[in-house]
Amino acid sequence: MADQEVIKHGKNIIRLAGSKEHSVKHKLREIAIEFFTIVFAVTLSIWLHGLSEHHHQQQEAKAFLIGLRTDLKNDIASIDTLIRDHRRFSANFTYLASLDPRQMPTDEKFAKVVAESDANHYFRPFTSRYEGFRSSGKMAYIEDQALLDEIFELYQMALPQIRSSEGGWETRQGKLRAYQDEMLEGDGLADHFKLFTSPKGQRLVKKMIAPEQLFDRYESYRKQATAIVKAIEAAYPELKDQPTPTATKA
């Protein structure tokens, strides 16, 4: 529509310029009016287009943040489970490290700990939505700079720190598994007792006690994720009373 208006007024300028019916002064005044009409039409068109584009961008940002809220609330629940599991794993290895090699336990606790000694649990956050939005270059659509900074800090700093700590724990578990594969003579409780109470077995199980750094990093991620969820809910108050859908990993 704006293009048609520009063409129409452009033709009027050409017609006025070639007209012999009016004085030069009159033609200049009319041409100036047509010229400023064109400028106004183009400016208005650009402004309306920009307004529409901005609205579209904000709708995309809102959809992303609402989805991110779901992802993070599921991550927070996962972190809670991780902390509980790793506390239990650490208690198990603390128990194994305290065994007296001269006397094998006869209670059910030893059997239960042995059964769980090879268990593991790692953080698997919902990152596909974030990665997709970031790789498409749309993160700048989020106009709340403080919120944007918090999101980047969570995924670019807090998450890699967790992966680093978990990677160290996984490496230590791999060494314990290798030692078991090499030295475990059978699958009975007595066989496991002999292995876990050997000098090397004791060194390995002690290293499997998770350092507090791992729990600190889990807590840091949970704290930052919770702050982001609250910021999103503050931006879109209608979310507070809505149930959180269960996210699915891509």
Q: Which domain holds residue 99?
A: 59-239
Residue 31 located in a structural domain: yes
For the chain, percent of residues with pLDDT exceeding 90: 67
Per-residue pLDDT at 238: 78
In this structure, the answer to whether residues 40 and 102 fall within a common structural domain is no
Region of 137 on the Ramachandran plot (φ > 0 left; ψ -120 to 50 alpha; else beta): left
Number of domains in the chain: 2
Q: Which residue has the higher pLDDT, 212 or 106?
A: 212
At a CB cut-off of 8 Å and minimum separation 6, what does 219 contact?
83
Section 120-130 average pLDDT: 94
Assess if residue 181 is contained within a domain.
Answer: yes
The answer on pLDDT for 133 being more than 50 is yes
Cβ 193 vs Cβ 104: under 8 Å? yes
pLDDT digits (tens, 9 = 90+) for 206-249: 999 999 999 999 999 999 999 999 999 998 887 766 666 555 55
In a domain, 44, yes or no: yes
Question: pTM, whole model, 2 decimals?
Answer: 0.76
Q: Which residues of 183-200 are buried (b: 16+ CB within 10 A; e: fewer)?
A: eeeeeeeeebbbbbbeee
Q: Is the distance from CB of 175 to CB of 204 less than 8 angstroms?
A: yes
Question: What's the CA gap between 128 and 134, in Å, rounded?
Answer: 10
E strands in the chain:
none
Mean pLDDT of the chain: 84
Same domain for 30 and 130? no
The answer to whether residues 40 and 75 belong to one domain is: no
Report d(CA 230, CA 226) in Å as an integer.
6
- Say if 246 falls within a structural domain: no
Same domain for 63 and 6? Answer: no
54 domain-assigned: no
Q: Per-residue confidence at 145, pLDDT binned at 50, 70, 90?
A: very high
Q: Is 247 within the bounds of a domain?
A: no
Are 20 and 117 within one domain? no
The pLDDT value recorded for residue 18 is 52
Evaluate if residue 155 carries a pLDDT over 90: yes
Q: Are residues 201 and 104 in the same domain?
A: yes
Question: How many Cα atoms are found within 13 Å in the side-chain-facing hemisphere of 240?
Answer: 8
CB 180 within 8 A of CB 195: yes
53 lies in some domain = no
Can you say whether the dihedral through the CA atoms of 70, 73, 79, 85 is positive or negative? negative
96 and 215 inside one domain: yes
193 and 92 assigned to the same domain: yes
What does the alpha-carbon distance between residue 203 and residue 103 come to, in Å, rounded to a whole number?
Answer: 19
Q: Are residues 116 and 230 in the same domain?
A: yes
Residues 42 and 110 in one domain: no
Q: Is residue 182 part of a domain?
A: yes
Taking residue 70's Cβ as centre, other Cβ atoms within 10 Å add up to 19
Do 41 and 123 reside in the same domain of the chain? no
Q: For residues 93 and 15, state if they share a domain.
A: no
